[in-house]
Amino acid sequence: MAFQTPQRPLPGAFFNTPAPSRYPPSRQPVFTAGGGQSRNPSSSQDGQQPLAPLRDSQSLQPIQRAARTINEVLQREANFPDLDSYVRQGISSDYELPSETTEPAWAPFQKTKSYDLPDRIYEQYNNGNLATKMGLFADLSHAWVCIDNCFYLWDYTSPNPDIIGYEEQPHGITAVKLIKPRKGVFVDSINHLIVIATTQTIILLGAAVTTEGSGIKRVALYDTKMDLHIKGLNVEVIEGSADTGRIFFAGTADNDLYEFTYQQEEKWFANRTGKINHTSPGYTALVPQLWGAKSHEHVKEIVVDDSRRLVYTLSNESSIRTFHMDTATTLCQVIEKKRHEMLRDISHMISSSVLLTAKMEVKSISPISGSEGSKLHLMATTTTGCRLFLSATRGYGYISSSGNAPQSMQVQHIKFPPLLEPRPPGNPAYQGVEPPIEISSNALSQTEEGLRFPPGFFFCFVRKTPGDQRHHLFLSAPDTGRIAAEARSVTAQATRFYEQGCWVPLGGNAQAVGLVTPPFGASRQPLGFGNELAVQYDEQPTDVAILTNSGVHIIRRRRLVDIFAAAIRGGGGDDGLENEVKKFIRQYGRGETTATALAVACGQGNDVVPGDPRLARISDPETLKLARKAFVEYGGRPSLNENLVSEGPMHAIENVRPSSRHEGIAMYMGRLVRSLWKTLVITETISPNGAVAISSPITANKLISIQDELTKLANFLEDNSSFIEGLAGPESLQNVASQQEQIALQGEHQALHSLQRLNSSIIEGISFVQMLFDERVDEIWKTLDDAVKQRLRELTFELLFSTDQGKDLAKVLVKSIVNRNIASGSNVDTVADALRRRCGTFCSADDVIIFKAQEQLKKASETGISQDMVRNLLHESLRLFQQVASALSLENLQSAVDQFSALQFYAGAISLTLLVAKESDRGNTALNWVNDNKPEHDTRISAFNFRKQCYELVHRVLVAVDDAAAREPETIDGRATLIATKRSEAHTVVNDSEDELFHFDLYEWYLHQGWIDRLLAVDSPFVVEFLTRSAATSVERADLLWRFYVHREQFYEAATVQLDLAKSEFQITLADRIGYLSRSKANASAQSRGVGRQARQMLLYEVSELLDVANLQDELLHRLRADPRVPDERRPQIVQKLDSQVLNLTELYNDYADQASYFDLCLMIYECADHRNEADISATWQQLLDNTHMKVAEDQNAGQLPYEAVVTMVKDMADRLNHSESTFNPSIIIPMIERYAIENQNGVGSRHWIPDLFISVGMPFEVIINVIQGMWYNNLAPFTERRKGILAEHILHVCEEWYDECLRTNTIVYGSDDNALEIQDLLEQLRQTEADAEVRDRLIQLRRKIAQARGRV
């Protein structure tokens, strides 16, 4: 069994669920892809390498996807193998000879017409005395006969031709040749020369060939008075070079090659005509031959290869000489290949063959041009019918250019004749096992002449028996379809030289053979040159004329489409159709078969009707029906590559490989349009006087022909859509058996629909080109600007058919056509209707409305119209433009806006532009892209860019209206002027717009212009959103936001923005942040509409807290910046850290304040952080007190005493700590100061500076007394024994001050009677323990005062 790659799951698809399929089971291959496979082209899937699946094409438009498919087809056909790849070194005998009885439809050639010799020729022939010769000028459709000394020429295609004679010379004619003359020698009307060789002279006759409208060629002969004396040479062979006009000839008298030189006038050292011997120098002819017999070798054939500038000669002894035309006048022999040398080359490829012996004779040679092959140069035909393909080399490689002469030649390949009897029908020669190479067939053993025409048509004239009086013609040609199929096959190992052959009866002796049609060439290089399939619908089939003694016979190379049409017509109806189609699929692949069937169904097949010599299209309904059936039923089915499916059904469609029907349609379309696909639409020609002429490189008849065939294809697909999978519509999905089939069918529909769209686009595009050249295209060219002209010069049909750029350029040309007709007085409706009928895509209904709107604009700009009429025309134009806003291109919009602005219709210009921007992006994807932070490589970018361009037009209009308004006053006599009104209308349209993206763009433009005041004055809800979003991007935008709020007295919102700014990560200095916080505090304190008191208080609290921290950080910053203890290398880091965002208190304390011993700031941090740990607070106060004392004590220049510094410090801290209960706690500070005074400042200063300090910093009297009283009671060191008197005196002093304060304020003594009583008791206790008499007297005196005061109360 075959192993399969595990499938990846597809959401919604159940690949492993059994389900009945509507398709019959496909035949499984014997080997998997990893094993060996047959070399038969059908070993791959139907012998065809299908086009690529739809993967990675979802982003393309249908027409673009189809154009890519056409390019793939054309590229694949351009890669058809070159001749050297299948005619390689070795031998072969691969022929397919269809039976004349059972397979006549498969014959590769066909006799299409026969023309009898005129009776007058027979009469002249019977009257002749000496000799006759006959020949053809096939490319001119003329035949000739020489009877004695007379030359007669006639059109063999005419039923009653005129005989043109030349009888003015007396000698017998030995040879005649038609050549191209050298340029500049004769007048332009002489486009051919007839070279006539007689026994005495060579004569040049001028031939003026003209072609009439029906295709008939007329020949007129002129005597050029040019001849050359050749007596004794017996010239029988003449050949000319088409590129250079050089004439070469040879005779039976010697083996030399001569050239007939001719020029317009005689010169000093040269006559008008002359003879040059290129083989032997002039003096050798005078040297007598002393030894040996005279050689009878002579030249019997001359051929010229202009592509390589080579001349070949064949002698009667089978020697081939090669000459190189190294200059325009010289010729040198470079190679001579004798018969025995060719036999030696052959012996390296085959040991022996009865067909190639020492008696081998080469009967004829045919050149192979450089365009056809890079290695092979020549084909030689032997008497036994073997074809020898010879290659020429120079040193180490093959010849790549005509400038290099070859140095050696060898036999590269031998093609042996076919079998005498063809293989039985139904048994193809190349299937499975390779047949042996036949090297002994006598089928062509009596060959008299063999000719080769590009790309490999072989005409072999044979006499089947020695006494046979008639020639039998064997024809063969490369089996192009099979070679192409094998080349496309993935498993192809080597391309073989497949040929098809047949026998055609002549009924007489062949006298001459010539090409009627131009030489075949599908390309100008070896790769792709021989692809007959690619040009079978695009170029005329190759016709070859053969002149016999009974008349002229036309042999036509049959196209594959003709073979298919004849095969299915003669196959026996539906039963025989299957056999023929299967044979085609087996040999050429399913894709080629469906393409051919489609072509026949569209009427492409040709055939000769029995009894009617005319070639006609096959149009019988039965054949067309069979072709349609073959296309529909044998076109395969789409397939889904399940191994690539991973992201759901929509992405699964990308992995669908379309059916062969899709490939067939693509191949047929590609072959129809191949000649124009990459061709420029116009050709610009500049005459010497500077006039410019515009023409089409493709003829009108060719365009019409291609359009007709594509129209037939479109009709066929439309008529049969219900039978074709992928075109049948949604109802076909009802018959699917699994989701794989459904996805495959959807992918098939997308592929076929794309080709249909492209086909319609091509048909309309051709109509557009035809209409363009029907107009005065030269005048239209003059109206285009230089940029459009350059685009038009570079425009190809492919771009016109399949790209938006091409469509846009076409619409520009349509507009020019319409404008030209309008200018000439034509009605726009008439012109537009004509355009719509012929090319609706390029001129839609919307385009017609645009033209009408432009017409109204043009009328409005004309002079002599009233203002009311101008206003009406402008509004009508605006209304029409608004109807088609979704279809209006940027170019048309810009033109309309400019004209509106020029007519001062500013409001209309702005409203139209905004509408176009809105209609271009109805889903508002551009705004969503902006809201998503503008991701890169997003599909929405294009929508944003277009809208951006529209908004820029609005900016231009606003600048224009502002400039116009600035030049005039706003009011006159208290009334607004007209321009002021228009400016107001324009800005009203702008402000009333609901386009959020436009407003954002407008405000950005305002800021870019520096119009900040205008932005702040805008009254629109969008400006708040814009400024809010912008505030997150820069400080300046955030400043604008809070200024906007202040401008509108929305103080709460302004305070919020300022707070956010202070807290932001922007590069803002600490001073600026403090400034924002200060403003925020002020704005939060102000009344704001719609904001409650609680919200304001909460905001105010947050701002105040952060402001306190910021002030602390600012003080830290200033101290550390000036602190000499900070190392210089660390100072910038510290400054940068502190002079930025507001840090948290923990970081300020731990990293800066504490480490720097800024104890006052530490206390302030405690206060801000509401830190109530008394131990920390006490320790910090102690450190601050010690630090303050030490600074003054150690500084001799302090200017104050330590206790004075302490007093100053405590007063300062009282204010800075706001007399906090926690950080400025009297129970901590009073004992600390008392101890400090005893220990460090005992006896210094006034006696009462300590209690005075406490009173001065606002400590309550009662608290001071209680704290000191506690110290006095507790006997805490150092206040023991006598030192307790200090505390007693301090208590007394505070009581005295409190008493005096009560008297001054006229309040109750000590606040209450109870307090007074307690103080009396305290004073009594102090008196009893006090040793100092003065203090006791004061205690007593104060007690009396208290008693008196209580008594009074």
- Give the pLDDT confidence of 367-384 residue by residue, as tens digits: 999 999 999 999 999 999
Q: Please report the pLDDT score of residue 5 as a whole number.
A: 36
Least confident of 11-25, 442-456, 928-942: 11-25
DSSP E strands: which ranges in 1166-1214?
A: none
- For the segment 5-14, what is each residue's pLDDT rounded down to a tens digit? 333 333 333 3
Amino acid at 963: D
**399 has a pLDDT exceeding 60:** no
- Tokens describing residue 130: 């000496």
HSE-up of 1123 (CA within 13 Å, CB side)?
21
Q: Judge if the upstream peptide bond of residue 367 is cis by omega within 30 degrees of 0.
A: no
**Burial classification of residue 956, based on how many CB atoms lie within 10 Å of its CB (0-12 exposed, 13-18 middle, 19 or more buried):** middle
Region 285-292: mean pLDDT is 50
User: Rounded to whole angstroms, how far apart are CA atoms 1034 and 1138?
Assistant: 21
* Residue 396 pLDDT: 61
In this model, does residue 1204 exceed pLDDT 50? yes
23: three-class secondary structure by DSSP: coil
Please report the DSSP string for 463-498 in residue order.
Answer: -SSTT--S-EEEEEEE-HHHHHHHHH-TT--S----
Q: Is the pLDDT of residue 234 over 60?
A: yes
The pLDDT of residue 536 is above 50 = yes
Strongest mean pLDDT among 98-112, 608-622, 811-825: 98-112
**What mean pLDDT value characterizes the chain?**
84
Q: What is the pLDDT of residue 1245?
A: 74
Residue 600 has pLDDT above 70, yes or no: yes
Residue-wise pLDDT tens digits, 925-947: 988 998 888 898 888 998 999 99
pLDDT at 503: 92
- Per-residue model confidence as pLDDT tens digits over 1095-1134: 888 988 888 888 888 998 898 889 888 888 888 888 888 8
pLDDT-based confidence at residue 476 (cuts at 50, 70, 90) = very high
**Lowest mean pLDDT: which of 371-375, 477-481, 559-563, 1242-1246?**
1242-1246
The Cα diameter of the chain in Å comes to 187
**pLDDT greater at residue 111 or residue 1333:** 111
Q: Where are the alpha helices (DSSP H) in 920-1050?
A: 925-931, 941-966, 978-992, 996-1009, 1012-1016, 1021-1031, 1035-1047
Token representation of residue 786: 């230089």
Whats the size of the chain, residue-wise? 1353
Between CA 802 and CA 709 the distance in angstroms is: 19
Name the residue type at position 324: H
CA separation for the pair 1309, 1299 (Å, rounded): 6
Q: What is the pLDDT of residue 284?
A: 52
Three-class DSSP category at 327: coil
Reported as a pLDDT band with limits 50, 70 and 90, residue 565 is very high
**Strand 408-415 and strand 90-92: pairing?**
parallel
DSSP 437: P
> How many Å from the N-terminal Cα to the C-terminal Cα in the chain?
125
Give the separation between CA 86 and CA 610, rounded to whole angstroms: 37
SS3 932: coil
Closest by CA to 1217, choosing from 1172, 1150, 1179, is 1172
Helices marked H in 201-242 — which ranges? none
Q: Residue 42: what pLDDT?
A: 39
What CA–CA distance (Å, rounded) separates 1103 from 1077?
A: 6
Which strand ranges, in their side-by-side order, compose the sheet holding 201-211? 173-179, 192-198, 201-211, 217-229
Nearest CA to 63 out of 886, 847, 799 is that of 799
Token pair recorded at residue 780:
């239209």
- Written as one string, the DSSP assignment of 1245-1297 is S-TTHHHHHHHHTT--HHHHHHHHHHHHHHT-TTS-GGGHHHHHHHHHHHHHH
Task: Kindly state the average pLDDT of the residues 1223-1232.
Answer: 89
**Could you give the CA distance from residue 607 to residue 615 in angstroms, rounded to a whole number?**
6
Average pLDDT over residues 394-412: 75
Cα–Cα dist 23/646, whole Å: 25
The pLDDT confidence band at residue 631, using thresholds 50, 70 and 90, is very high
Per-residue b or e along 553-565, where b marks 16 or more CB atoms closer than 10 Å to that residue's CB = bbbbbbbbbbbbb
- For residue 445, give the nearest of 380, 384, 362 by alpha carbon: 384
**Which residues lie below 8 Å from residue 938, measured CB to CB, with a gap of 6+?**
929, 932
Helix (H, G, I), strand (E, B) or coil at 431: strand
pLDDT: is 1311 or 179 the higher one? 179
Q: Hey, is 194 helix, strand or coil? A: strand
190 in Cβ contact with 206 (< 8 Å): yes
Q: Is the dihedral of CA 27, 31, 34, 36 positive or negative?
A: negative
Which comes out higher in pLDDT, residue 37 or 1119? Answer: 1119
Q: In this structure, how many other beta carbons lie within 10 angstroms of the beta carbon of residue 770? A: 16
Is residue 527 within 8 A of residue 535, CB to CB? The reply is no
Rounded to whole angstroms, how far apart are CA atoms 1162 and 1159?
Answer: 5
| pLDDT (0 to 100) of residue 643 | 58
- Find, among 366, 545, 555, 540, the residue nearest to 453 by Cα: 366
Region for residue 864 given its phi and psi (left: phi exceeds 0; alpha: psi -120 to 50; beta: otherwise): left
The whole-angstrom separation of Cα 961 and Cα 553 is: 82
H or E element at residue 1131: helix 1131-1138
What does the DSSP 8-state code read for residue 16? T
Which phi and psi (to 5°) does residue 952 adopt?
-65, -35
Q: What is the pLDDT of residues 877-921, one digit of tens each?
A: 899 899 888 888 888 899 899 999 988 899 999 999 999 999 998
Interhelix angle 1159-1169/1174-1194, rounded to 10 degrees, is: 160
Residues forming beta bridges with residue 250, ordered by sequence position: 237
Whether the pLDDT of residue 2 is over 80: the answer is: no
- 455 prior amide bond cis, ω within 30: yes
Whether residue 32 contacts residue 2, with contact meaning beta carbons closer than 8 Å, is answered with yes
pLDDT in tens, 150-206: 999 999 998 888 899 899 899 999 999 999 999 989 998 999 999 999 999 999 999
- Position 294 scores a pLDDT of 65
* 8 A C-beta contact, residue 26 and residue 46: no
CA angle 558, 559, 560 (to 5 degrees): 120
Is residue 279 classed as helix, strand or coil in its secondary structure? Answer: coil
Whether 839 has a pLDDT exceeding 90, the answer reads no
Residue 167: closest CA among 142, 196, 193: 196
Q: Which whole number is the average pLDDT over 835-863?
A: 78
* pLDDT higher than threshold 80 for residue 647: no
